[in-house]
Structure 1
Amino acid sequence: MIYQGNSISVKELDGGLAELVFDLKNESVNKFDKATLSELNDATQAIENSSAKGVLVSSAKDSFIVGADITEFLQWFEQSEEEVVASVLQANEIFSRFEDLSIPTVAAINGIALGGGMEMCLACDYRVMSTAAKVGLPEVKLGLYPGFGGTVRLSRVIGADNAIEWISGGAEKRPDAALKDGAVDAVFAPEQLKEEALKLLQRIVAGELDFENRKTAKKGKLGLNAIESMMVFETAKGFVAGKAGKHYPAPVDAIKTIQKHANFERDQAIAIEAKGFAKLAKTPVARNLIGLFLNDQSIKKIAKDHTALAGDVSQAAVLGAGIMGGGIAYQSAYKGTPILMKDINEQGIQLGLDEATNLLTKAVQRKRMDVGKMAQTLTRIRPTLSYGDFGNVDVVVEAVVENPKVKKAVLAEAESHLKEGAVLASNTSTISITDLATALKKPEDFCGMHFFNPVHRMPLVEVIRGEKTSDKTIATVVKYAQKMGKTPIVVNDCPGFLVNRVLFPYFGGFAMMLRDGADFEHVDKVMEKFGWPMGPAYLLDVVGIDTGVHAQAVMAEGFPDRMAQDFRSAMAVMFDENRYGQKNSQGFYKYELDKKGKQKKVSDEVAHKLVDSVVESKQEMSDEDIINRLMIPMCLETVRCLEDNIVNTPAEADMGLVYGIGFPPFRGGALKYIDDMGAAKFVELCDQYSSLGKLYEPTAKLREMAAKNEKFYA
């Protein structure tokens, strides 16, 4: 044994070769924490002092290295910018020391190699990849760019244009793409990978391949002349800026950094990378995106804890085969769980099948699957008009019309056909799960499973616990949501649950603004500039104004002190005029088909006149007023959901809003928004708008937090 540590070992192989193995003890994956970085330095020194003629770099785990341990490196980001630079350069010295070994190195990438894991691979002279592996530099998703030499080495290995696409896009690359771009030298089946990597290393040691030339190229300048540089970088900056948007600076900063260090050799280039990395690390965007990443890890752990009690989920069923039912059937079948799709008539069945087929066809057109997998997926969807096969079903999702009487009747009927221990779930956005359970003989086997539309795109599923819902039922539905590729968040029963309960105060603030004379198109523009994917008027059109009116009535009944409206709202006027939004091509906007057949919104004079009819007084409103009048009610209701134990943790609350309604990710969520502003300042802001009523009134606990300068996130 040449070296033995807690996460890295170096052992001797036949023929004078050595193998450096990553195997972080007591962890399911390899990652770069500070201890592993230190061990890499020690292992490199041990190799330098050995007689090894070449080094194979491998992993003893299913993944290669998933990246840096962000929980540890967050401590770096609390330092000053200069200290961050120093810390990053210290880590880079270790990678460069390994890269500068006088003997050849080959990385055998058996699984995921992302971020720091891919940067380790790039420090090797050659890279071979398993057909089961993925590689990439996804740091832009955290508001950063690669900091362990990734922008330097990748641009010199695959060229500036390819490196820009890899780094600014942050996507994981499959073996065929990595090989095509030159990021890896060969691709093999998993069972052949190590053997073939060793053969390659033996050939290099035998002098068949010039590894020293590779080392020299990676340590040199990028080698672009002035015209090539301008064409590559300036074109890319404009294109990427348009895609990323002004709230996400990292993708464009990555391009600027590659451009800055293009004419410098490695060590100076890495110093330039480190300086830019440190600057990004100190931004609120990076802090919030990293916070969301940690929140996502947290809710996955919570979901995993829930599933400890889960029953089997090998056969599902959906009741109601409309657009929503078809979407649920598609998602279940696409992710591998067979599903029965029941409706009361052939027309409904056909609608559901058409929806699933349409989604599968689009997936084929976008090359996300082939025709064979499409056919295989469709065979997992079995349409039926009867309950004949329901005795074999583990989970049934009811997705009929949003009417409590209809839902109760359907649920009670379905229950009578299920086997012992099977779980019933209702896809409802507003109706009380506890109330629906009164129609059932076994309310403990029933819960809510609220999907968001469109099902195939929206990552969130709210799993709603009724008063009598058992832990096993929750666990089973959480497990099913995970099998469908969704992020489940368990919430307790109340009007609107989590997401809609928080969303409708936002719409309530919007309704009051229109009453007070605001122009809804201007409001939409302000909120889109703030970071929302769409403003409130456009969002209501997408949700469906008829759906909005129904949900508003439920919320007003549940929380009359702050959600009942004592004025006629613009949404109610639209509803009375049969303007339901996108679904019938008229709402706050008109909708016309573009050249691609997609709906695009168009300004509508009739809609403005209808909104004018509800104006009670014209008030001057700045853009700041618009933001505050919409964000305060949403943030306060999120606080109330946490205090009322509708949701258990700030992470679950904020991720629910990001995944469920598109809360601007770079702002971190409603509770993080309060933290960033400071509770005291936020409460002071609420008090400025206190004349608008209870929607703007802070809770006593929030005032207490403000007085003590406390935060939701420690």
Structure 2
Amino acid sequence: MSNTPLFQGQSLVVEKLASGFAELRFDRQGEAINKFDARTVEELGKAGEALAADGSIKGLMVTSAKDVFIVGADITEFGANFQKTEEEIAAWAYEANKKFSAIEDLPFPTVTLVSGLALGGGFEMALSTDYRVMSTVAQVGFPEVKLGIFPGFGGTVRFPRLVGADNAIEWIAGGGQMKADAALKVHAVDAVVAPDKLREAAEKLLQQAVDGKYDWKARRAQKTGKLQLNPIESMMVFTTSKAFIAGKAGKNYPAPLAAVTAIEKAAGKTRDDALKIEGMGFAKVAKTTQADALIGLFLNDQLIKKKGKAYVKAGKKIEHAAVLGAGIMGGGIAYQSAIKGTPVIMKDIADKSLDLGMEEANKLLSKQVERKKLTPEKAGHILSTIRPTLNYGDFKTVDIVVEAVVENPKVKKSVLAETETMVKEGTIIASNTSSISIDDLATAVKHPENFLGMHFFNPVHRMPLVEVIYGEKTSKEAIATVAAYAAAMGKTPIVVKNCPGFLVNRILFPYFYGFLGALRDGADFVKIDKVMEGFGWPMGPAYLQDVVGIDTSHHVGDVLAEGYPDRMKNDTGEKTALDVMYEQKRFGQKNGVGFYKYETDPKGKPKKIADPATYELLKPIQKGQVDMSDEEIIDRHMLPMIIETVRCLDDGIVETPTEADMGLIMGIGFPPFRGGALKYADTIGMQTILDKCAKFAHLGKLYEPTESMKKMAAEGKTYFPK
């Protein structure tokens, strides 16, 4: 390779090779990965100029000096960019696109070597060359819709012209990462080879194009011309896909549909006019509240992961774990530990419970085998690393014990005290409790510095969040070790200070109290569920209580009423809807009847049916029947949740707004496109929140804003500054 660069930047370099080819190599200085920030786009323009000016180049290879090609755009730049007007964003996109088009218009054939990941802008870079050779282990795709936007560097223009509108719509609207075989199948790439053969294959393909064996000019004309669809085909593809995507994405996620519309509008245009249409469509979605929230969510996730890595560094590595209490929860925790490589002892006092725990782990492993994620042999080996036992025999070998016995303080304290005498010095003991005070439980152990809470959410294998709850005496090392263990289990740990309900349940229950108040005032529980699901919740509050379990809700409600009597205690002496369901032993899905009745569908899953008996049972506790407006239903549920989230922040239960919002999204399914309770408050504005609170002031403390909220409104501040 010659050492005479045609262009040298901080993100990329262009060199002439002895073969007569040139190489444009992405190599972002001081970073482990390549991504498209403003500087890289600028340098790409200069690289294009240098390549076009040299008349001796025969062909171009676009490569990466990193393990990955380009992971996409630099998302940290979106915030400031998207503050601009729609016109300014569209103009910025069009100007950036000229740099990609300059590469596409070079007077010689071009090929990209796709290694590692080529996502979003990275894949769009690859599409601007004539050919693509992909490594067998690489992945390509357009994840932009997951951020509430769609490809803006020519993806909606070049890709459909290359692979057909139907394939392009599926890839762009789906937002997935595609493996090499899938990319080859739709002709998104021209060849797939082993990683060590990538350069050799690309050079060979480029030489064949130079020699006229491949018509690179025809390929280029295909990408820069109009989309080849006759009117009937066009109507079929776009009408069908728009109906399907609208049904699947719903009104709360406009980006997938906007992407299809951009492809459709630009179908009859050549490249440069099509890129203008893409830019205008991109600008429109970039200005939506959904894009704002989803981009914020991505950045929040990065921050949480960064914190998690710091805990991993600070904590001790767990080599061997134990779970106390088998059953569904214990079996789920044991499975999660074992599948991620930490062997685990599962102890219970009854063979029947151990059988249940092992059945749960086996069932989950069998599903992985069915989905071809594991071989039967691998699944068998993982199961063998879970050891059921009725005694404490090998507890001296474990580094952590996760206690998952019944949610009863007396039982838990007795088990914790006994366990502490059976483990080696320094073993961490963590209680999987959803609401019992960690400081109260710590009174049962002699080494409270090694004791804390580790709250898993049900079902353990699906829910990404683990609350790591520290008490007054918990050591920093114990916190870091448990957070590191949660991360090793593939979970996202959020560290929270002990308080009744911890973070997630403490914030969820005011939302439930909003629901009970709306029922008391005559609202229809089925309509409430419909409205809140329309707002974006995966299930409405009545259905959610049935899934959680009415008895569980009732118990946690008692704990929170004691902890926060000013706003969570029912002092009226009147029964709530929850009391009625509990007294009638209508515990929800677990016994087939709660607010709804449950029948089994053909797939064996519970199906809810509105039960006329519920209306009759609720009549005595309701003040008549009211057709409550959608806005009032939303406000009565969301305001208490926002206020309690702010209280958690003010009380130092979590350190940052990021952790508060991410806890709600990962713990209870808060609508992602709204970004969390605090992001939602930012979106509608704190003054608007205060005005809404004033409207419901007669409902009591649950709707009373905090002093910090009033101060924030007065100063015009937000939880997530742009």
Asked whether the two chains share a fold, i.e. TM above 0.5, the reply is yes
In structure 1, how many angstroms separate the alpha carbons of the residues matched to 2:246 and 2:627?
34
User: What aligned pairs does 1:221-232 form with structure 2 within 5 A after superposition?
Assistant: 221-232=226-237
Moved more, 482-491 or 305-314: 305-314
2:468–2:495: 8 Å Cα contact kept in structure 1? yes
1:506 aligns with 2:546: no
1:22 aligns with 2:26: yes
2:53 is matched by which residue type in structure 1? Answer: N
Partner of 2:553: 548
Partner of 1:7: 11
Correspondence for 2:692 among 680, 685, 691: 685
User: What aligned pairs does 1:186-197 form with structure 2 within 5 A after superposition?
Assistant: 186-197=191-202
Moved more, 501-510 or 318-327: 318-327
1:38 aligns with 2:42: yes
Partner of 1:630: 637
Partner of 2:570: 565
1:48 aligns with 2:52: yes
In structure 2, how many angstroms separate the alpha carbons of the residues matched to 1:552 and 1:14?
75
2:376 is matched by which residue type in structure 1? Answer: V
Query: CA distance change for structure 1 residues 255 and 633 in 2, over 3 Å: closer, same or farther?
Result: same
Deviation, 1:88, is: 0.3
Partner of 2:622: 615
User: What aligned pairs does 1:530-609 form with structure 2 within 5 A after superposition?
Assistant: 530-566=535-571, 567-609=574-616
2:582 is matched by which residue type in structure 1? Answer: F
In structure 1, how many angstroms separate the alpha carbons of the residues matched to 2:433 and 2:425?
24
Correspondence for 1:219 among 202, 218, 224: 224
Correspondence for 2:338 among 325, 333, 337: 333
- The DSSP-based 3-state class of the residue aligned with 1:144 is coil
Partner of 2:167: 162
Query: CA distance change for structure 1 residues 337 and 203 in 2, over 3 Å: closer, same or farther?
Result: farther
Moved more, 515-524 or 88-97: 515-524
Moved more, 342-351 or 166-175: 342-351
Deviation, 1:491, is: 0.9
Deviation, 1:96, is: 0.8
Query: CA distance change for structure 1 residues 680 and 383 in 2, over 3 Å: closer, same or farther?
Result: same
In structure 1, how many angstroms separate the alpha carbons of the residues matched to 2:325 and 2:189?
48
Query: CA distance change for structure 1 residues 102 and 631 in 2, over 3 Å: closer, same or farther?
Result: same
- The DSSP-based 3-state class of the residue aligned with 1:489 is strand
- The DSSP-based 3-state class of the residue aligned with 2:111 is strand
Query: CA distance change for structure 1 residues 707 and 525 in 2, over 3 Å: closer, same or farther?
Result: same
Deviation, 1:556, is: 0.3
Query: CA distance change for structure 1 residues 212 and 298 in 2, over 3 Å: closer, same or farther?
Result: same
* C-alpha distance after superposition, 1:376-409 (max 9, x if no partner): 4323333233333333323322211111122222
Tell me how large the CA RMSD over aligned residues is.
1.7
Correspondence for 1:246 among 243, 247, 251: 251
Correspondence for 2:419 among 414, 418, 422: 414
1:210 is matched by which residue type in structure 2? Answer: D
In structure 1, how many angstroms separate the alpha carbons of the residues matched to 2:251 and 2:612?
31
1:390 aligns with 2:408: no
Partner of 2:110: 105
* C-alpha distance after superposition, 1:224-274 (max 9, x if no partner): 111111111111111111110111111111111111111211111111111
1:27 is matched by which residue type in structure 2? Answer: E
In structure 2, how many angstroms separate the alpha carbons of the residues matched to 1:42 and 1:338?
54
In structure 2, how many angstroms separate the alpha carbons of the residues matched to 1:205 and 1:314?
57
In structure 1, how many angstroms separate the alpha carbons of the residues matched to 2:129 and 2:405?
57
In structure 1, how many angstroms separate the alpha carbons of the residues matched to 2:134 and 2:640?
51
Partner of 1:277: 282
Partner of 2:469: 464
Partner of 1:143: 148
Query: CA distance change for structure 1 residues 480 and 199 in 2, over 3 Å: closer, same or farther?
Result: farther
Q: Which runs of 5+ in 1 are unaligned?
A: none
2:317–2:485: 8 Å Cα contact kept in structure 1? no
Deviation, 1:366, is: 3.5
* C-alpha distance after superposition, 1:329-384 (max 9, x if no partner): 22222333332222222211221122122222333334444434433432333323
Query: CA distance change for structure 1 residues 389 and 712 in 2, over 3 Å: closer, same or farther?
Result: same
Deviation, 1:620, is: 5.8
Moved more, 380-389 or 83-92: 380-389
1:128 aligns with 2:127: no
Partner of 1:643: 650
In structure 2, how many angstroms separate the alpha carbons of the residues matched to 1:465 and 1:358?
33
In structure 1, how many angstroms separate the alpha carbons of the residues matched to 2:382 and 2:194?
25
1:306 aligns with 2:311: yes
In structure 2, how many angstroms separate the alpha carbons of the residues matched to 1:161 and 1:205?
32
Query: CA distance change for structure 1 residues 178 and 335 in 2, over 3 Å: closer, same or farther?
Result: farther
Deviation, 1:482, is: 1.6
Partner of 1:454: 459
2:706 is matched by which residue type in structure 1? Answer: T
Deviation, 1:89, is: 0.3
In structure 2, how many angstroms separate the alpha carbons of the residues matched to 1:257 and 1:577?
55
Query: CA distance change for structure 1 residues 549 and 223 in 2, over 3 Å: closer, same or farther?
Result: same
2:697 is matched by which residue type in structure 1? Answer: S
Deviation, 1:617, is: 5.2
Query: CA distance change for structure 1 residues 199 and 386 in 2, over 3 Å: closer, same or farther?
Result: farther
- The DSSP-based 3-state class of the residue aligned with 2:15 is strand
Query: CA distance change for structure 1 residues 208 and 643 in 2, over 3 Å: closer, same or farther?
Result: same
* C-alpha distance after superposition, 1:398-439 (max 9, x if no partner): 211111122222223333333343322211110111221222
Correspondence for 1:77 among 63, 82, 92: 82
Query: CA distance change for structure 1 residues 205 and 476 in 2, over 3 Å: closer, same or farther?
Result: farther
Q: TM-score, normalised by structure 2?
A: 0.96
Query: CA distance change for structure 1 residues 27 and 603 in 2, over 3 Å: closer, same or farther?
Result: same
- The DSSP-based 3-state class of the residue aligned with 2:443 is helix
Deviation, 1:59, is: 1.7
Query: CA distance change for structure 1 residues 473 and 198 in 2, over 3 Å: closer, same or farther?
Result: farther
1:696 is matched by which residue type in structure 2? Answer: Y
Moved more, 86-95 or 449-458: 449-458
- The DSSP-based 3-state class of the residue aligned with 1:52 is coil
In structure 2, how many angstroms separate the alpha carbons of the residues matched to 1:88 and 1:506?
42
In structure 2, how many angstroms separate the alpha carbons of the residues matched to 1:577 and 1:58?
68
2:105 is matched by which residue type in structure 1? Answer: D
Correspondence for 2:212 among 207, 215, 228: 207
Correspondence for 1:488 among 487, 490, 493: 493
1:698 aligns with 2:705: yes
In structure 2, how many angstroms separate the alpha carbons of the residues matched to 1:284 and 1:225?
36
2:681 is matched by which residue type in structure 1? Answer: I
Deviation, 1:618, is: 4.9
* C-alpha distance after superposition, 1:182-227 (max 9, x if no partner): 2222223333333333333333334332222211111111101111
Q: TM-score, normalised by structure 1?
A: 0.97
2:497 is matched by which residue type in structure 1? Answer: N
Query: CA distance change for structure 1 residues 308 and 548 in 2, over 3 Å: closer, same or farther?
Result: same
Deviation, 1:604, is: 0.8
* C-alpha distance after superposition, 1:51-109 (max 9, x if no partner): 33222222222222111011113222111111111000011001111111222222222
In structure 2, how many angstroms separate the alpha carbons of the residues matched to 1:25 and 1:390?
49
- The DSSP-based 3-state class of the residue aligned with 1:15 is coil
In structure 2, how many angstroms separate the alpha carbons of the residues matched to 1:314 and 1:204?
55
- The DSSP-based 3-state class of the residue aligned with 1:684 is helix
In structure 2, how many angstroms separate the alpha carbons of the residues matched to 1:225 and 1:74?
40
Runs of 4+ in 1 over 4 A off after TM superposition: 616-620
* C-alpha distance after superposition, 1:434-478 (max 9, x if no partner): 221222222212221111111122111111111111221121222
Query: CA distance change for structure 1 residues 314 and 158 in 2, over 3 Å: closer, same or farther?
Result: farther
Percent identity at matched positions? 61
2:524–2:626: 8 Å Cα contact kept in structure 1? no
2:524–2:627: 8 Å Cα contact kept in structure 1? no
